[in-house]
């Protein structure tokens, strides 16, 4: 199709950003017959080699996310590439003796989720995007202006022209240009921490367990990936970020083993590493007439409980359901009253998870003797309260608020 045909049409929906959340949103709508344009600024690599090096960025996918991806027919792509189910989670603290152990067996589940590389999730969703005849994709685009006219969003793209749509979805990540162009404000909080991530090989097996230790610097986690391979999430004060990135591999290995209290023995090999400053962001609004934000464009949270993309995929599923319901009732899906239903559905849940992460962070910070004193009896007690533990894990695994249809077992197809 020529670019002039693309700009003559009025698209049912335009999604800006083809990351995990944007591609899921486009798929959910395109597979239900809506005419979608997906704009992404970077090429997406669908190639996969059996022995591909482990990627820096991984996600812990919840059961709800698994169901969304399965309902979008993209799970097979993940299985064809690489993923790792984890069956237990073990949490402990540097200064108090208690440990809390969550196990899939206690919950009568096969596993507690999956650790999957982000590029594997994105490529698996894109495979389906490219197979869907209702979705048109444009890569390497630069969006540069947005106006609202005639109950439509008009989006200018460099060197192409103006695209018109009933609904523009901003799925373009934490620094969303769509959010900025729509003049939507942002509530931010700097955690003054960074996360150092990457894969390492350890002396001892991870036992399909995610290990999380709370230290005076912040949490440290091993997420089980492959044969003695775990992805690390090492949280440090922001001013230590460059130090951690610059450490020679042998010293980095020693620091990692120390941060984990040698739980998996020594670190014997390290792959590429990366580091991210951690900032909580929450858009003041998720919607405006003819516009909606999803995923990191709407909210970012502390990744210690691995919830960011899980919340984003729930946004995608809730927005898809809201739009499809409106379409079925012959209502304009870009209208404010329709889009407010999506905002009411998701904003409170996302805010609750953001606040819970802050509560966790506060509780485990070793900055007050009183907190250590309270944790001392609490952690061993929490470990014995199987019902409470299972409830907490159930919330993380399955999501909290009323789940969108795409996140339930039965498919909407």
Ligand X SMILES: Cc1cc2nc3c(=O)[nH]c(=O)nc-3n(C[C@H](O)[C@H](O)[C@H](O)COP(=O)(O)OP(=O)(O)OC[C@H]3O[C@@H](n4cnc5c(N)ncnc54)[C@H](O)[C@@H]3O)c2cc1C
Q: Which residues bind ligand X (CB under 6 A)?
A: 16-22, 39-42, 59-60, 141, 143, 171-173, 177, 195, 197, 233, 276, 295-296, 303, 306-310, 312
Closest approach, Cβ 307 to ligand X, in A, equals 5
Cα angle, residue 200 at apex, residues 310 and 392 outer, rounded to 5°: 35
Closest approach, Cβ 332 to ligand X, in A, equals 25
| Choice between 41 and 263, CB closer to ligand X | 41
Question: In a 3-state reduction of DSSP, which class is residue 355?
Answer: helix
Q: In what order do the strands lie in the sheet with 267-283?
A: 99-103, 88-93, 209-215, 218-226, 229-237, 186-202, 267-283, 299-300
Closest approach, Cβ 262 to ligand X, in A, equals 23
Q: In what order do the strands lie in the sheet with 113-117?
A: 58-61, 113-117, 84-86
Closest approach, Cβ 340 to ligand X, in A, equals 21
| Choice between 173 and 327, CB closer to ligand X | 173
3-state helix, strand, coil in the chain (%, to 5): 40, 30, 30
| Choice between 22 and 28, CB closer to ligand X | 22
Are 366 and 372 a contacting pair, CB within 8 Å? Answer: yes
Closest approach, Cβ 311 to ligand X, in A, equals 7
| Choice between 331 and 355, CB closer to ligand X | 355
Closest approach, Cβ 174 to ligand X, in A, equals 6
Cα(413)–Cα(411) distance, integer angstroms? 5
Pairing of strands 161-170, 10-16: parallel
From the CB of residue 205, how many other CB atoms can be counted at a distance below 10 Å? 14
| Choice between 42 and 266, CB closer to ligand X | 42
Are 184 and 194 a contacting pair, CB within 8 Å? Answer: no
- What is the C-alpha end-to-end distance of the chain, expressed in Å? 28
| Choice between 71 and 96, CB closer to ligand X | 71
Are 86 and 223 a contacting pair, CB within 8 Å? Answer: yes
Q: If we measure between CA atoms, which residue out of 167, 177, 172, 157 comes closest to residue 18?
A: 172
Q: If we measure between CA atoms, which residue out of 158, 202, 195 comes closest to residue 39?
A: 158
Closest approach, Cβ 59 to ligand X, in A, equals 4
Dihedral over Cα of 161, 162, 163, 169: its sign: positive
Beta bridge partners of 11: 165
| Choice between 195 and 264, CB closer to ligand X | 195
Closest approach, Cβ 160 to ligand X, in A, equals 12
| Choice between 102 and 375, CB closer to ligand X | 102
DSSP state of 104: T
Closest approach, Cβ 144 to ligand X, in A, equals 9
Closest approach, Cβ 216 to ligand X, in A, equals 20
Question: In a 3-state reduction of DSSP, which class is residue 228?
Answer: coil
| Choice between 121 and 326, CB closer to ligand X | 121
From the CB of residue 381, how many other CB atoms can be counted at a distance below 10 Å? 12
Q: If we measure between CA atoms, which residue out of 58, 60, 59, 116 comes closest to residue 88?
A: 60
| Choice between 223 and 323, CB closer to ligand X | 223
């Amino acid at each position: 199709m020529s670019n002039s045909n693309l700009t003559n049409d009025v698209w049912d929906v335009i999604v800006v950003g083809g990351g995990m959340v944007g591609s899921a949103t486009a798929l959910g709508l395109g597979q239900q017959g809506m005419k979608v344009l997906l704009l992404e600024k970077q090429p997406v690599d669908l190639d996969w080699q059996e022995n591909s090096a482990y990627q820096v960025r991984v996600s812990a996918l919840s059961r709800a996310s698994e169901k969304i991806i399965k309902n979008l027919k993209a799970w097979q792509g993940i299985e064809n590439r690489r993923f790792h189910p984890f069956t237990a989670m073990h949490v402990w603290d540097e200064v108090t003796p208690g440990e809390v152990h969550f196990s899939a067996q206690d919950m009568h589940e096969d596993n507690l989720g999956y650790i999957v590389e982000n590029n594997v999730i994105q490529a698996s969703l894109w495979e389906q995007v490219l197979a869907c005849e209702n979705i048109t994709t444009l890569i390497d685009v630069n969006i540069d202006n947005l106006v609202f006219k005639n109950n439509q969003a008009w989006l200018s793209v460099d060197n192409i022209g103006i695209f018109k749509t009933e609904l523009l979805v901003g799925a373009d990540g934490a620094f969303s240009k769509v959010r900025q162009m729509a003049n939507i404000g942002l509530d931010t909080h700097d955690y003054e921490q960074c996360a150092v991530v990457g894969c390492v090989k350890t002396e001892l097996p991870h036992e399909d367990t995610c290990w999380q230790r709370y230290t005076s610097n912040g949490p440290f986690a091993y997420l089980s990936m492959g044969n003695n391979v775990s992805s690390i999430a090492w949280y440090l004060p922001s001013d230590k970020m460059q130090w951690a990135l610059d450490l020679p591999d042998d010293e980095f290995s020693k620091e990692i083993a120390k941060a984990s209290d040698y739980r998996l023995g020594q670190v014997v090999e390290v792959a590429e590493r990366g580091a991210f400053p951690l900032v909580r962001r929450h858009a003041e609004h998720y919607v405006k007439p003819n516009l909606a934000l999803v995923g990191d464009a709407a909210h970012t949270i502390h990744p210690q409980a691995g919830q960011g993309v899980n919340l984003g995929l729930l946004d995608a599923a809730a927005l898809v359901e809201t739009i499809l319901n409106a379409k079925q009732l012959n209502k304009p899906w870009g209208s404010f009253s329709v889009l407010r239903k999506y905002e009411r559905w998701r904003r409170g849940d996302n805010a609750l998870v953001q606040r819970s992460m802050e509560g966790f962070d506060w509780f485990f910070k070793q900055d007050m003797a009183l907190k250590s004193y309270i944790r001392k009896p609490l952690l061993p007690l929490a470990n014995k309260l199987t019902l409470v533990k299972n409830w907490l894990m159930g919330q993380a695994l399955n999501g909290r608020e009323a789940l969108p249809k795409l996140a339930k077992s039965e498919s909407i197809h």
